Amino acid sequence: MSDTALREQICLLAKSMFDRGLTGGSTGNISARTSDGGLLVSPTGTSFGRLDPARLSCFDAAGTLIGGDSPTREMPLHSAFYDTRSSAGAVVHLHSCHSVAWSLMPEVDEDNFLPPLTPYAIMKLGRVKLLPFYRPGDPAMGAAVRGLAGKRSAVMLANHGPVVAAKDVEAACNAIEELEDTARLAILMRGYSPRQLTPEQITDLVTHFDVEWDA
C-alpha cells in the first residue's frame, strides 16, 4: 500500500470508530507500518474524528521523526508491540467505554480478560492480558507490554483502555472493536450466569483458526 493510501486509511478507520462512539474527544491513538519500515502515527492531542492525513507523525525505519506533528505520548506502548511482535503491522489504542467498565469488575481474570462468550474475540485476539493502572503516558506501560515477550496481541490497561496489535491497520481496528463488543456482552450478562463456550469448544477454535493462545 502506498504512503498516501495508508494515511487515508488510518484517518478513515479512526473517524469511523470516533463516529460510532468507540473513543471520544482527543482520546485514542493509532499507528501503522509503512512499506519502507517506518511508522505513521496519530499526533498528540488529536481527535480520531478529525485526523489530517498530511499531519500524521512520520517516523523512518530507524525510529527518527521525519515529518508531521509531534506523535502521541503513548509511543512507548506502540513501540513495545512493534519491537516484540514481528507480525505487528499496526497498533490501535482506544478509551472504549465497555472495555474500561469491564476492567473495573472484581471478578475479571487478569490473564484472560474476556470471558468466552462468542468465538470471535478468541479468533481475533487470543487471550487478552489485563495490565495494572498506569498514569497516561507512563513509559512503564511499554515496559509491561515488553514483559509479555510478544506472547499477546492485545492488552487491556485497567481503568484506561485496550491496546491491540495486528498484521495491518484494518485488522487491528476490527480486533479492537471485537474486544469492545465482547466486553459489552460481559457487562450485559453480568449476574445472569450465561452459557460460555466450553474448554473443548475453545480448543477447537484455537486449533481450527491457528489462534495464538498463550497458556
pLDDT value at residue 215: 57
Q: Which three cell numbers stand for residue 127?
A: 487471550
**For the chain, which domains are there?**
3-208 (3.40.225.10)
* Residue 162: CB atoms within 10 Å: 30
CA distances from 24 to 15, 67, 156, 157 (A): 10, 26, 18, 17
Dihedral sign computed on CA atoms, order 91, 95, 100, 103: positive
Q: Which three cell numbers stand for residue 88?
A: 505487528
How far apart are the C-alpha atoms of 98 and 42, rounded to whole Å?
23
Task: Catalogue the active-site residues.
Answer: 120
Helix (H), strand (E), coil (C) string for 99-129: HHHHHCCCCCCCCCCCCCCCHHHHHHHCCCE
DSSP 191: T
Rounded (to 5) percent helix, strand, coil in the chain: 40, 15, 45
CA distances from 64 to 13, 150, 161 (A): 25, 23, 27
Radius of gyration of the chain (CA): 17
Query: Which residues of the chain fall below pLDDT 70?
Result: 215
Task: Determine the distance from the C-alpha atom of residue 87 to the mean position of all C-alpha atoms in its chain, rounded to a whole number.
Answer: 14
Q: Which three cell numbers stand for residue 63?
A: 525510529
pLDDT value at residue 34: 97
